[in-house]
Amino acid sequence: MHDINFIRDNPIAFDNAMKQRGEIPVSKKIIELDENKRKTQTILQKNLSEKNLLSKSIGDIKSKRGDASKEFKRVEEINSEISTLKELEIIQNDELNAILTRLPNIPDDTTPSGKSEKDNIFYKEWGHKPNFNFKPKKHFEIGENLNLMNFDIATRMSGSRFVVLKGQLSKLERALANFMLDMHTFSNGYSEINVPLLVKDNALFGTGNLPKFSEDLFSAGDNHWLIPTAEVPLTNIVREQILNENELPMRLTSYSPCFRSEAGAAGKDTRGMLRQHQFTKVELVSIVEPSQSNDELERMLKSAESILQELDIHYRVMTLCTSDMGFSAKKTYDIEVWLPGENNYREISSCSNCGDFQARRMNSRYKFNNKNIFVHTLNGSGIAVGRTIIAILENYQTDTGNVSIPKALKKYFDNKDTLL
């Protein structure tokens, strides 16, 4: 949600920011609607004040046994006007919010301007691409050849974009979740939270998923939705809260299934596990003071990177441009892991600073110098478990068709060297 005062004071800057996000200029319309609403509120307050004075006057007249019929008639007129004005105020407020709630966050000054993912900027990389003395296979070829991954069974029971993992691959998913949570709680300073998988409309509104992106979600009926990521319940923990300054920074992590309709992904990544309706992920969320959010983004990025570094898998980090960021983000880093079978980098984590954008939608604040200030929220994948399985299969595959187990995970496999 946007600060209406900022839009009134900086209409040109706001329009330029929205233009970078692919939106048309709307500040003039917003200011006009806001002015009309403020005029209505002024008239409403004037009528309420007049009504209060008349009520006092009627009391005085009646105490003197006088005739207050004229005053009563005026009160009736005012009551009718107040009712009309309140209805008008609701309509004006809804019309204004219908615009404001669908506009994305303002990009940070350090976010590169761009029109597509081609304009994303390289930030850094870690590790090296593995060398093979054979042609590396794609993850689904490896998984199916080992009889540990089955898409046909999943399709028969659930449709496309689902998978059944068996045996050692199922164990690998569980091991990765434990490994990631252990890293983030013991080494990276996050507190583990177990969250609901069903949330209401207002929770998804708070994080920016609703009302604009309902087609990307799975509705469970009765005003409930399956979570697209644990970011939603984790961030909403501070919904409608006024925190004490000593409660910040708040760093939370959760492992959960995630559910996405992938409405805009028709024809993309139809083979394999890269784009699923259901997948698991370890999520990172930070709630911080405004002055700390830029540093916190770098800290969160390092926490996500630490997982791939411990697994010894090559990756690069890209700074997303204005048109490639998520709706609620002001700045985003994508970690892209190297997949030898694809001969390509693929996103495995996004870390975003949302500023006070989500906090305004959730009314989440903290006390500072006797004032209630909106907090800043950040979120990131720490990291996607399914895509980490893909990365391990492709980077650790052997010429015999087996898969070596990364050193950091061997303790979960009785110190075995390979999956089979």
- pLDDT tens-digit map of 307-328: 999 999 999 999 999 999 999 9
- List of E strands, 289-330: 315-319
110: closest CA among 302, 335, 322? 322
pLDDT in tens, 197-222: 999 999 999 999 999 999 999 999 99
pLDDT for residue 261: 93
Question: What's the mean pLDDT in 121-144?
Answer: 97
Contact 230, 281 (CB under 8 A): yes
Mean pLDDT of 52-64: 85
What is the rounded CA–CA span in Å between residue 198 and residue 200? 7
Q: What is the pTM of this model?
A: 0.92
pLDDT over 80 at 364, yes or no: yes
Instruction: Provide mean pLDDT across the span 366-385.
Output: 97
What is the rounded distance in angstroms from the CA atom of residue 272 to the CA atom of residue 161?
Answer: 8
Q: What is the pLDDT of residue 264?
A: 64
pLDDT for res 56: 86
Per residue in 265-278, pLDDT tens? Answer: 666 777 899 999 99
- Domains of the chain are 4-100 (1.10.287.40), 117-413 (3.30.930.10)
Return contacts of 97-101, CB within 8 angstroms, 24+ apart.
Answer: 99/26, 99/29, 99/30, 99/33, 100/1, 100/2, 100/4, 100/30, 101/1, 101/205, 101/211, 101/212, 101/361
Nearest-angstrom CA–CA distance, 385 and 276: 12
pLDDT for residue 265: 64
The region of weakest confidence among 81-85, 297-301, 316-320 is 81-85
pLDDT at 68: 83
Contact by Cβ (8 Å): 336, 315: yes
pLDDT at 86 over 70: yes
In contact, 128 and 395? CB cutoff 8 Å? no
pLDDT digits (tens, 9 = 90+) for 25-56: 999 999 999 999 999 999 999 999 999 999 88
Which tokens in the block code for residue 190? 């996050």
CA distance 281 to 348: 10
The band of 1, judged by pLDDT with boundaries at 50, 70 and 90, is confident
Residue 263 has pLDDT above 70, yes or no: no
pLDDT over 90 percentage in the chain = 91
Longest Cα separation, the chain: 107
